[in-house]
């Protein structure tokens, strides 16, 4: 079972184009709760399908890939596969370049 909040988050994640990434904060803002970044993370963790929902394209605002249901390494590997530069430290380099924003100014 899922809540409206989680579905809203998943819907936003589905909008992220391949080769791009977004931050939990951006998603939180997109769903209307810019402070609910923790809740967004929980929603991603509760995501039922890892293929339909590109949760691996969500990273932390500081560039760190954050966590992943299958492990950080798997997440890093997926991002690299999509053309995102990830440092061995598990951080996305050139984040601003790959960052996908829901709130364009």
Interacting residue with DNA among 30, 44, 76, 78 (CB under 7 A): 44
If binding is defined by CB under 7 A, does position 39 make contact with DNA? yes
CB of 39 to DNA, least distance (A): 3
- CA proximity to 61, closest of 32, 88, 33, 41: 41
Residue appearing with tokens 């992943």: 68
If binding is defined by CB under 7 A, does position 6 make contact with DNA? yes
- The single residue of 13, 28, 40, 55 carrying the catalytic annotation is 55
If binding is defined by CB under 7 A, does position 77 make contact with DNA? no
Sign of CA dihedral 26, 31, 37, 41: negative
Pick between residue 12 and residue 75 the one whose CB is nearest to DNA.
75
Q: How many CB atoms lie within 10 A of CB 76?
A: 22
If binding is defined by CB under 7 A, does position 3 make contact with DNA? yes
Cα-atom radius of gyration of the chain, to the nearest Å?
12
User: Helix (H, G, I), strand (E, B), or coil: what is residue 77?
Assistant: helix
Q: How many CB atoms lie within 10 A of CB 50?
A: 16
If binding is defined by CB under 7 A, does position 68 make contact with DNA? yes
If binding is defined by CB under 7 A, does position 42 make contact with DNA? yes
Positions in the binding site for DNA (CB under 7 A): 3-6, 23-25, 33, 35-47, 50, 55-56, 58, 60-62, 64, 66-69, 75
Instruction: Give the residue numbers marked as catalytic.
Output: 55
């Amino acid at each position: 079972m899922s809540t409206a909040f989680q579905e809203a988050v998943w819907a936003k994640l589905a909008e992220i184009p391949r080769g791009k990434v977004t931050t939990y904060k951006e998603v939180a803002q997109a769903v209307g709760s810019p402070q609910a970044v923790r809740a967004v993370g929980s929603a991603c963790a509760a995501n039922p399908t890892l293929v339909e929902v590109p949760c691996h394209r969500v990273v932390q605002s500081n560039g760190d890939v954050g966590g992943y249901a299958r492990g950080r390494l798997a997440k890093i590997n997926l991002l690299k596969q999509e053309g995102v530069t990830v440092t061995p430290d598990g951080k996305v380099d050139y984040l601003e370049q790959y960052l996908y924003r829901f709130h364009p100014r």
